Amino acid sequence: MSDHETPVYNADAEKETILKSYRALLRACKPNIDKGDKKQIRLAFDIALEAHKDMRRKTGEPYILHPLSVALIVAEEIGLGTTAIVCALLHDVVEDTHLTLDDIEKTFGKKVASIIDGLTKIAGVFDQGSSLQAENFRKMLLTLSDDVRVILIKLADRLHNMRTLDSMPRDKQLKIASETAYLYAPLAHRLGLYSIKIEMEDLAMKYTEPEIYNELSEKLQQTKRERTKFINEFIEPIKEELDKQECKYEIKGRSKSVHSIWVKMKKQGVSFEEIYDLFAIRVILDTNLDDEKAMCWKAYSIITDFYHPNPDRLRDWISTPKANGYESLHTTVMGPSGKWVEVQIRTKRMDEIAEKGYAAHWKYKESAAETALDEWIHRIRELLDNPEADAMDFVDEFKLNLFSDEIFVFTPTGELITLPSNATALDFAFEIHTDIGSKCIGAKVNHKLVPLSHKLLSGDQVEILTSNKQTPKEDWLNYVVTAKAKSKIKNALKEEKKSVAEDGKEILERKFRHLKIHFNTDNINELLAYYKIPTSLELFYRIAKGAIDVQDLKDFAEDKGSIKARVTHRVEPHSLEQIVKHVRGSSDMLVLGENLERIDYKLSPCCNPIPGDDVFGFITINEGIKIHRVNCPNAIQLMSNYAYRIVKAKWTNQQQIAFLAGIKITGIDQVGVVSKISKVISSELKVNMRSISIESIDGIFEGTIMLFVHDTHHLTKLIQKLKDVQGILTVSRIDTSQKNNS
């Protein structure tokens, strides 16, 4: 610690904390570390300690604790070796202190310097929030092709930031949490780091949807005791049989994460109490490589001797591992007292790969998963090599390919091809070869003729039909899900656009010659400004297609070969920066409800915010500010990609204005139930209904009601009253706007 440290902090206690963290790090590297390695780690620690000595984190603690924590995650939770640990300790020094990359290369060699260079390039990128996140994410992925450890250390860095997010202001918390859910968690998932992915999702949810997170965490805590009792009862007979057969094994029972429970509740439209598989049992077998498959099926056979399996819920990722190397056998069985239980069966090697992802692959080089991962990285490189891809498209396509489950399909010769689920015959064609994709006119799936848009299923055998006359069409983009197919189609369309634009250019040149106007940049720019077209390519294209008629240039005054638009009322729109500046003013907080006329804002139809909701403003280019709820389905993407266009917002107290909200009701179909509902709504709370639709199926009804309320308190009170009506089973607010209420 430096001598001039402020006396508020206890220097001795801090020294002790730092040493404790350092010792924990050494313990974590113990299994695979020799003397030379230890020296390197010590040296890196000393350099980092000295470089960061006067720095503190937002929490007030010494900065060095951050690189130490990141190094511990890298060693313990990802399982990387000395090089990565050294890089994790030094990951902030080049950016934040006087040390240079040359200094690091002299001390630790080229490899460490190049990884730190990669980390420095992507460091400020996410944390400044000034430029577009998508472009930065793309830059970050470029480093994948150099050394995947850059990304792994970056994930560890982000995980530690998420664990210490409490000390940040609310708007920063939302931005960082959204970004984590949008980009980092899927990346961890794709690299096979499941436990890190789960923790990131849970932590992100803790900040973006605190109420739901706390409620579910509490419920999990309350039911923990009975779950443990149930798990012990469930595994007792299985243990006995495995012991009898002299198998080496370990059995773990673990709860599902808060985030995955919430996703399931939303997807299935059920309450916490109705989710049947709150936990999974994992059977981990200790066996050699050759016997792995046989042993897993043996364990499956033992488990299903005691409990009936659900035939629809068997997943065999041992015969065909997932693209990120995940191998396991999943089944769901009917346990004691009529509860479904998910059981995962795998070996020690498979478990390590599932937990530590890419890092564990180096340990088991001969594993087939290695090639699958290389293939995935190769696909990303293909994406990155496409110079014309728009950054936002890139992130969305990358995410598509990150999140998707896979299907396995076959070529006519029996070769296995892995594609994301929902892939079509056209995706398959582009996967085989760009030329085949571009000329594809249809396909035969299992010897039956199908169109290009036909969705493939696992096990399909696909033959592509081509024609030399075929070229990619605009609507093909609606038929494909793989990033490769999308980027190839876009490229082809761009090329076609260029050749059409060439014709348009000739038409314009001829017209200019005829009118004795110079064909130069100034004149072209004048046309672009007048027609509000961004590029000359687009202008020429529209002329060729007849969308712009240049026969008549009467809106322009011509003087010595130069043209000027006569119309003065075509004012250039404000730049986005000016709009942002004007909206933000000096307060940086948008107050909704006062001075309604001062700022033009709209309530976004995708989540129908009402006063009382936690909201933010998103500055659009043409429609003023759109107000979204913080837990709106689109919020995460907006916050992580356009952080600079987000304005904090809060409601003032407004009783006189009514806002549209939707509620969904289910119940038992009884005579007069509709009139009971409308009575509660109209007479008891003086609420105006906009629409009500109720469907009854086999004695159960389901209804959607759109009504006007003042704020969330008002809505909650109404929902409570409706729940008290006899025969009503559930009442909930609709999260996204219904299509029929526009």
Token pair of 135 as six digits: 């472009």
Q: What is the pLDDT of residue 398?
A: 56
Q: What is the pLDDT of residue 380?
A: 57
Cα of first residue to Cα of last residue in the chain, in angstroms, is 63
Q: Which amino acid is at 698?
A: D
Cβ-based burial of 384 (10 A; exposed 0-12, middle 13-18, buried ≥19): middle
Mean pLDDT value across residues 166-186 = 85
486 lies in some domain? no
C-alpha to C-alpha distance for 125 and 158, rounded to whole angstroms: 13
Token pair of 34 as six digits: 């020799």
434 lies in some domain? no
126 and 248 belong to one structural domain: no
Mean pLDDT value across residues 117-137 = 55
Domain boundary among 595, 620, 645: 645
Show Cβ contacts of residue 96 under 8 Å, excluding neighbours closer than 6 positions. Answer: 51, 52, 55
64 and 182 belong to one structural domain: yes
449 lies in some domain? no
Q: Which amino acid is at 141?
A: L
Mean pLDDT value across residues 596-606 = 66
Q: What is the pLDDT of residue 91?
A: 87
| Backbone phi and psi for residue 319, each to the nearest 5 degrees, phi listed first | -70, -40
Domain boundary among 309, 332, 364: 364
CA distances from 622 to 126, 178, 389, 615, 629 (A): 27, 25, 24, 20, 20
For residue 647, the 8-state DSSP code is E
Domain boundary among 531, 565, 599: 565
Is 327 part of the annotated catalytic residue set? no
Contact of 619 with 647, CB cutoff 8 Å? yes
428 lies in some domain? no
668 and 617 belong to one structural domain: no
Is 95 part of the annotated catalytic residue set? yes
Q: Is the pLDDT of residue 403 over 60?
A: no
173 lies in some domain? yes
CA distances from 228 to 231, 275, 280, 445, 689 (A): 5, 17, 12, 48, 47
Position 463 confidence tier, pLDDT thresholds 50, 70, 90: very high
For 269-296, the DSSP string reads T--GGG-S-SEEEEEEE---GGGHHHHH
Show Cβ contacts of residue 440 under 8 Å, excluding neighbours closer than 6 positions. Answer: 425, 426, 429, 452, 464, 465, 466, 470
Range of the domain at 728: 659-741
Mean pLDDT value across residues 233-255 = 91
| Backbone phi and psi for residue 569, each to the nearest 5 degrees, phi listed first | -80, -5
CA distances from 516 to 250, 371, 519, 544, 569 (A): 87, 64, 9, 21, 27
Mean pLDDT value across residues 371-399 = 53
Q: What is the pLDDT of residues 14-63, one digit of tens each?
A: 888 889 998 888 888 876 667 788 888 999 999 998 888 888 887 788 88
**Which percentage of the chain shows pLDDT scores above 70?**
78
Please report, for the domain that includes residue 720, its CATH number. 3.30.70.260
Position 1 confidence tier, pLDDT thresholds 50, 70, 90: very low
Q: Is the pLDDT of residue 569 over 50?
A: no
Look at residue 525 and give its three-state secondary structure: helix
204 and 221 belong to one structural domain: no
Between 98 and 575, name the one with better pLDDT: 98
189 and 112 belong to one structural domain: yes
351 lies in some domain? yes
Cβ-based burial of 13 (10 A; exposed 0-12, middle 13-18, buried ≥19): exposed
Contact of 658 with 709, CB cutoff 8 Å? yes
Show Cβ contacts of residue 561 under 8 Å, excluding neighbours closer than 6 positions. Answer: 516, 517, 518
Token pair of 280 as six digits: 């999974």
481 lies in some domain? no
Q: Which amino acid is at 113?
A: A
Q: Is the pLDDT of residue 597 over 80?
A: no
Token pair of 260 as six digits: 């995955």
Contact of 682 with 691, CB cutoff 8 Å? no
Q: Which amino acid is at 278?
A: L
442 lies in some domain? no
Q: What is the pLDDT of residue 427?
A: 95
18 and 141 belong to one structural domain: yes
**Run of H or E including 729:** strand 728-733
User: Residue holding tokens 């289910």?
Assistant: 666
SS3 content of the chain, % helix, strand, coil (to 5): 55, 15, 30
Q: What is the pLDDT of residue 683?
A: 64
Position 130 confidence tier, pLDDT thresholds 50, 70, 90: very low
Token pair of 316 as six digits: 């065999």
Q: State the total domains in the chain.
A: 5
Position 278 confidence tier, pLDDT thresholds 50, 70, 90: confident
Position 384 confidence tier, pLDDT thresholds 50, 70, 90: low
Q: Is the pLDDT of residue 738 over 60?
A: no
Q: What is the pLDDT of residue 700?
A: 81
C-alpha to C-alpha distance for 346 and 343, rounded to whole angstroms: 10
- Of 381, 386, 391, 396, nearest to 134 by C-alpha is 391
Q: What is the pLDDT of residue 572?
A: 43
Q: Is the pLDDT of residue 215 over 60?
A: yes
Q: Is the pLDDT of residue 328 over 90?
A: yes
Contact of 33 with 82, CB cutoff 8 Å? yes
Q: What is the pLDDT of residue 737?
A: 42
For residue 576, the 8-state DSSP code is H
Q: What is the pLDDT of residue 346?
A: 95
229 and 354 belong to one structural domain: yes
Q: Is the pLDDT of residue 200 over 90?
A: yes
Between 147 and 698, name the one with better pLDDT: 698
51 and 198 belong to one structural domain: yes
Q: One of 14, 37, 95, 463 is an active-site residue; which one? A: 95
Contact of 686 with 695, CB cutoff 8 Å? no
167 and 282 belong to one structural domain: no
C-alpha to C-alpha distance for 384 and 407, rounded to whole angstroms: 24
C-alpha to C-alpha distance for 438 and 468, rounded to whole angstroms: 9
63 and 182 belong to one structural domain: yes
678 and 726 belong to one structural domain: yes
Q: One of 5, 14, 76, 96 is an active-site residue; which one? A: 96
Mean pLDDT value across residues 485-492 = 88
For residue 693, the 8-state DSSP code is E
C-alpha to C-alpha distance for 29 and 27, rounded to whole angstroms: 5
34 and 181 belong to one structural domain: yes
Token pair of 157 as six digits: 């860095």
Q: What is the pLDDT of residue 12?
A: 82
Q: What is the pLDDT of residues 368-382, one digit of tens each?
A: 444 555 555 555 555
